Structure 1
């Protein structure tokens, strides 16, 4: 809170009271004293209040990025990521990511190493997107929007994989839900569905 006293031409003076709270707009209230009396005047607000949805979105993004940066696999050195776009390593990580997604689908649908019982292969297929696809794609030096989508997926996919079997015990369904979540997140974050003029 701050006070200021201003005087103009010796006839009138004003007292400005500025107050502000954290995460709220700053307001100023001025009282002008003249020979006729007091004239209260409100200054227009300095900045509009951010909408609660955008503030919530920013907080959520911060939490997701911090959690993914803490727990997701990352480079072991502080040097620049060598998997730059256009390099062989970048392409290897990309092919590895999508190939592991495809192979996970084949395993979870019980097409490879078929078994009438739940087994390790089908379980690996169900978790393939989280264990192999997302880390492989995150290992590249990808754009910030794509990295953000992968950070969200790193947290969402385990929730789906744990929650879905409570309602429907199917390896194929879990893999399918992970795949839908994957492409839906990419469509949202990378703006695939936005109209281009």
Structure 2
């Protein structure tokens, strides 16, 4: 098969940068290959590098960026969907088992009302009394008794229901729903590892403050 090959010829190009007076010389080579089937293959090389290689690299990098964006988007939406499902389960469970109003009328314990203040004071006073009982400061005893047991469960029995009975905000109601389900689990599991009424009450208090800080946004920076 006959073929015709045109050897490379060179041409010089002078490029000047506006920032300096130094001129740069670039050498371009143009190769032409011909065969009997009249197929011509042209290839241009500038400055010793192939422009086609640079283009392919840029395309690959763009594709990789798109894949990374899609994967990061899917990873970010997964925790959001899990949190929504968990919120629905907690809300339904708390609405089923937690104390609620016996009538369908509007909750009279609105912010600023006397009933709202009574529920709020009752909640925090019961928390303090429960702490005193669990630490064996009130009705002290050398043996486990009903008073220390009530002090350990005071946050779940009195504090959470009292705060939940008010007409509170949506975020606060979600925090109380979580606490209504979380505290019993803690009070049952902790004694297996640490048999202390005071430790259980302290853990419940930390969970109470942590849940409020998360749902109410206490730790978020204000712009």
Which TM-score band (shorter chain)?
A: 0.7 to 0.9
State the Cα deviation string for residues 24-75 of structure 1 (Å, max 9, x = none): xxxxxxxxxxxxxxxxxxxxxxxx7671110000000000000000000000
Structure index of larger Rg: 2
Q: Where do residues 42-53 of structure 1 align in structure 2 (5 Å cutoff)?
A: 51-53=77-79
Q: Where do residues 20-99 of structure 1 align in structure 2 (5 Å cutoff)?
A: 51-99=77-125
* Pick aligned residue for 2:218 from 177, 192, 195: 192
Residue equivalent to 1:40: none
RMSD: 1.3
State the Cα deviation string for residues 83-132 of structure 1 (Å, max 9, x = none): 00000000000000000000000000000000000000000000000000
CA–CA separation in structure 2 for the residues paired with 1:76 and 1:134? 18
> How far has the Cα of 1:164 moved from its partner?
0.2
SS in 2 for 1:82: coil
CA–CA separation in structure 2 for the residues paired with 1:85 and 1:65? 22
State the Cα deviation string for residues 127-153 of structure 1 (Å, max 9, x = none): 000000000000000000000000000
> How far has the Cα of 1:79 moved from its partner?
0.3
CA–CA separation in structure 2 for the residues paired with 1:92 and 1:173? 28
Unaligned runs of 5+ in 1: 1-47
After the TM superposition, which segments of 4 or more aligned residues of structure 1 sit over 4 Å from their partners?
none
* Pick aligned residue for 1:139 from 146, 150, 165: 165
Higher helix share: 2
CA–CA separation in structure 1 for the residues paired with 2:188 and 2:106? 35
* Pick aligned residue for 1:156 from 166, 178, 182: 182
Query: How does the TM-score come out when normalised to structure 2?
Result: 0.66
